[in-house]
């Protein structure tokens, strides 16, 4: 009878130890999962703080830039007088460009005539030198 009680006790004890070992493993697993979740939360919190700080800086910078812009009570749309003045200015600019192009054209054209005259003079000089060379050759022979 004592042996039987002892065997029952040992069986209960082994079940208890097995249960305790499983609970310790489960506890360790839960602690690891908890630790990982805590790291994830800390990382997300850091990202959230970074995002809110970046958003605050961006909003502040935007406000400063908007304050630097000139303030206008009304949007400025072109009026008829502004458009006619713009048209006159553009026409004046085109007239100046036309005059400048015409002047450049005349300069180039005049330069071309001068080049033709100069070329003709050099050809005449070349012929004259050739004739003189022939005459020197014929007199020396």
| 140-to-88, 130, 135 alpha-carbon distances in Å | 77, 15, 9
CA atoms within 13 A on the CB side of 113: 5
List, for residues 13-27, the tens digit of each pLDDT value. 999 999 999 999 999
d(CA 24, CA 15): 14
Residue count of the chain, please give it.
141
The residue extents of the domains of the chain are 1-65, 101-141
**For 85, phi and psi rounded to 5 degrees?**
-65, -40
State if pTM tops 0.75: no
| Confidence at 81, pLDDT banded by 50, 70, 90 | confident
Tokens, residue 111: 């330069």
d(CA 103, CA 106): 5
List, for residues 39-72, the tens digit of each pLDDT value. 999 999 999 999 999 999 999 999 888 888 877 6
Tokens, residue 123: 């050809």
């Amino acid at each position: 009878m004592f042996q039987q009680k002892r065997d029952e006790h040992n069986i209960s004890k082994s079940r208890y130890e097995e249960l305790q070992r499983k609970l310790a493993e489960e506890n360790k697993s839960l602690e690891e999962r908890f630790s990982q979740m805590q790291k994830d939360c800390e990382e997300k919190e850091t990202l959230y703080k970074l995002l809110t700080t970046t958003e605050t800086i961006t909003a502040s910078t935007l406000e400063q830039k908007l304050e630097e812009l000139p303030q206008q009570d009304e949007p400025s749309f072109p009026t008829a007088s502004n458009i006619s003045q713009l048209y006159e200015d553009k026409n004046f600019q085109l007239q100046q460009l036309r005059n400048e192009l015409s002047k450049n054209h005349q300069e180039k054209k005049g330069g071309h005539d001068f080049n033709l005259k100069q070329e003709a003079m050099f050809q005449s000089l070349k012929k004259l030198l050739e004739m003189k060379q022939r005459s020197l050759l014929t007199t020396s022979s």
